[in-house]
Amino acid sequence: MQLRHTALAALCAVSLSAFAGEGQPHWSYTGKDDPTHWGELSPAFVTCKLGKNQSPVDLSSANAKGDNSVEATYPPLAYSVENNGHTIQATPTDAVKTLKLGGEAFTLKQFHFHTPSEHTFLSKYFPMEAHFVHQNERGELAVIGVMFEKGAENAALAPLLAKPLKAGEKTAIADKLDIAALFPKDQNHFRLNGSLTTPPCSEGVNWIVFKTPVEASEAQFKAMEAMIGQANNRPVQPLNARIVIEE
């Protein structure tokens, strides 16, 4: 897959282990540990409450145009799939530099799913959203967001859903997975600075959110929802003074 667009603003360094939630206090999407309380669960989570560049947001319109360089190539790779209690996450077994932002290389670390979507377009939610998390050698993160709508079965999702996984379970996909079908052919996108959408909600994450959704079947949405076990989307956050760039 090839993308060609903008040299992105520098990212602040964010720990990927923070994204994965290692060593964190318990948090959830429901009850007393839900998103409205994340910022109170630990001093490490205070940005969830006080941050000004939080994600996700509603992407109703852009207030700037961009025309720089983004290149992404995702070769077929071997992946493991796990239910980590918050989402279904696929992790490549090899470290491959798959994304270039302004000529700088980023490695695909993992991708995971939210049902329903976290970002909205004109206040509209989609049945599902995938986040492709990349990291450069300085620990900076860039995340590509892809929306899914109901349609034909998605071939790239099928291996991820083949074995229902309970929380804490992990399995390896037998064959190398080509994830090209998880990206839209029309790669116009929104770009903005934001945050992790899970605790500790660290800011300085560069978001690229595709405008065109990808199709998946209703059965695939139901299978993903059943494995995750709950709605796992953080509520939309205020945009505040951020600039949304359309490319």
Active-site annotation, residues: 86
- Partner residues linked to 3 by β-bridges: none
Dihedral sign from CA coordinates of 10, 13, 15, 19: negative
Burial of 176 (0-12, 13-18, 19+ CB in 10 A): middle
Q: Which of 198, 169, 145, 206 is nearest to 18 (CA)?
A: 198
- Partner residues linked to 65 by β-bridges: 246
Q: Which residues of 37-48 are buried (b: 16+ CB within 10 A; e: fewer)?
A: ebbebeeebebb
